[in-house]
Amino acid sequence: MEEGLPVYGKEPYFDDPLMYQLYQQVEHTLGIRASTDALVQLRKHLNQIQTLVHPDQPITTPIQERYKHIFASSEALFDLAQLLTVNETYFFREQVHFSVLLRELLPRFSTLNRSLRICSAATSTGCEAYSIAMVFDYYNQCLGYKPLSWEIDAFDIDRQVIETARQGRYTANAFREDGTQWKFLLDRYVSAAGTEYTVDPRLKDHIHFYLHNIMEGLPIQGYDLIFFRNVFIYFSLESRIKVTNILANALLPDACLMVGISETASIEHPLLANCFKEDAFYFQKKTTEAGSSKGIKQAEPRTPRIIPKHPELSSRKKGLTIEPDRIAALIVDDTEARLTTEKTLAFLAAEQRHQDDGFAGMGNEFMTAIIALINQGDFLRADRLLTFIEQYDNSAYTNFLRGEYFYLKTLPLDAEYSYKVAIQQDKTFWPAFYRLSSLAAQGNPVRYVYKINQALESISQGKERGYEVFIGGFSPDYYQRALEKQRNKGLLNHSQPR
Ligand SMILES: C[S@@+](CC[C@H](N)C(=O)[O-])C[C@H]1O[C@@H](n2cnc3c(N)ncnc32)[C@H](O)[C@@H]1O
């Protein structure tokens, strides 16, 4: 299995069949697509336990059989989870969701005249649950006409993080720039002593922290609001579908669901309507049973046109000229696009190949022709050009176009794989991230079209913001920064962007 970014779509390849069995077992039980590193750690750990419990069992016994008792036990899984999960979290992460809570939801909740039940699912160390609690308490103390009665259920599968959550004590790492707009609440509810930050213990009275595996459903139903953020990215498609059903069914009519910003496009459920307020996407449970919870409709991938454009690509890559602006200019003009396509196909037919002096300078023409052919659905000729180019150029741009080829051929798994390769070539190649989030996604037409329109508008106005809308709210340098952070921690090659 390749290191680095999560594997989208394609199952990873393992030389060792036992590792593959373990991967499947983890995916089935926890929903998570585990990294190789995590699996190696897990296997080591399981072997130690196993040697103690069944010292005579042959090493070749299938994993499902060998570790059956461990995977069947919730308690054992809570201990193992820390080897498999990414617990990254901080206060007021993805702060727009808290704006929605304060400005949209709490005023509406106050008209209900009843106690409210909130869930912070996969809460990690509890920063999310405490952030929600701060907003509620602040509303009650300072804004609301009549105080709201509220409770938060907050769970995670990892024993260690739940312990931290219960203690409510943190280091500076739990406070990031992303949440600075809420500093006034942090000042109000968090006290510092040396390097330790303690949450106001009064908030704990409203929060019930407990261990739980979301794959087993939700023990409590009837929520007014559920946060399930930044977990789907680690889940397989099957697990995402299963968990979306669980969440949708646990919401009261009109209640809301927040998922991570990069995950919003991955939700499509007959019981959930799209909402967009305060610059945030979220979901509201439909009041009618129309289209009831038979499961998520598997939407076909969308097929919008996209012209990859990236500032760092405006240079020669591996001897081939690739200038996104020039490609964009060629492709938007139908006549130019057609002539360019003919020219490149003629070039190929003449078998001039790369020895020809002109080839290195024809990168723009090749890319234009490939995009044009893909968009026309002429996959045969697009494939010929792509296969030719791939012999000489392995840049993010070429891999991205291979992804586009698969994508528009409705081969989403192959497409995801190529996009992932593009991202490994260039960690800030936003069109590939964009496609991945929408594919991961299985497509949600309303948000998708909205984002495309916004992106086109901002690009046409020459705004940097174009990048943000394409990759689901992340800033252009988001992945670069995530990478640097990992490099500083010495985790590079082993961790994933968060
Ligand atoms: C990246 S953290 C996200 C924390 C928080 N929701 C946020 O957005 O900041 C993902 C959390 O999901 C938890 N998790 C993963 N699989 C889970 C499962 N099957 N059931 C419950 N929690 C799970 C992990 O232990 C981890 O703490």
Q: How far is the CA of 122 from the centre of ligand 1 (A)?
A: 4
Q: How far is the CA of 209 from the centre of ligand 1 (A)?
A: 13
Task: Note if the pTM is more than 0.85.
Answer: no
Taking the C-alpha atoms of residue 225 and residue 231, their distance in angstroms, rounded to an integer, is: 17
Domains of the chain, each with CATH number or no CATH: 17-84 (no CATH), 96-285 (3.40.50.150), 311-488 (1.25.40)
* Residue 368: partners with Cβ closer than 8 Å, 6 or more residues away: 327, 330, 331, 336, 337, 340, 341, 344
End-to-end CA distance of the chain, in Å?
19
Q: Give SS3 for 223.
A: strand
The response to whether residue 245 sits with its C-beta less than 6 Å from ligand 1 reads no
Q: Tens digits of per-residue pLDDT, 42-76? A: 888 887 776 655 656 666 666 666 677 777 777 77
The response to whether residue 88 sits with its C-beta less than 6 Å from ligand 1 reads yes
Taking the C-alpha atoms of residue 250 and residue 476, their distance in angstroms, rounded to an integer, is: 35
Q: Tens digits of per-residue pLDDT, 153-173? A: 999 999 999 999 999 999 999
Give the position, in ligand 1's atom list, of the atom nearest the Cα of 239.
19
Mean pLDDT, residues 116-139 taken together: 97
DSSP type of residue 235? B
Q: Is the pLDDT of residue 454 over 80?
A: no
CB distance 292 to 406 below 8 Å:
no
Structure tokens at 76: 């054992």
Most confidently predicted of 59-73, 74-88, 198-212, 460-474? 198-212
The response to whether residue 263 sits with its C-beta less than 6 Å from ligand 1 reads no
Q: What is the DSSP string of 18-62?
A: HHHHHHHHHHHHH-B---HHHHHHHHHHHHHHHHHH-TTS-TTS-
Taking the C-alpha atoms of residue 60 and residue 458, their distance in angstroms, rounded to an integer, is: 58
The response to whether residue 156 sits with its C-beta less than 6 Å from ligand 1 reads yes
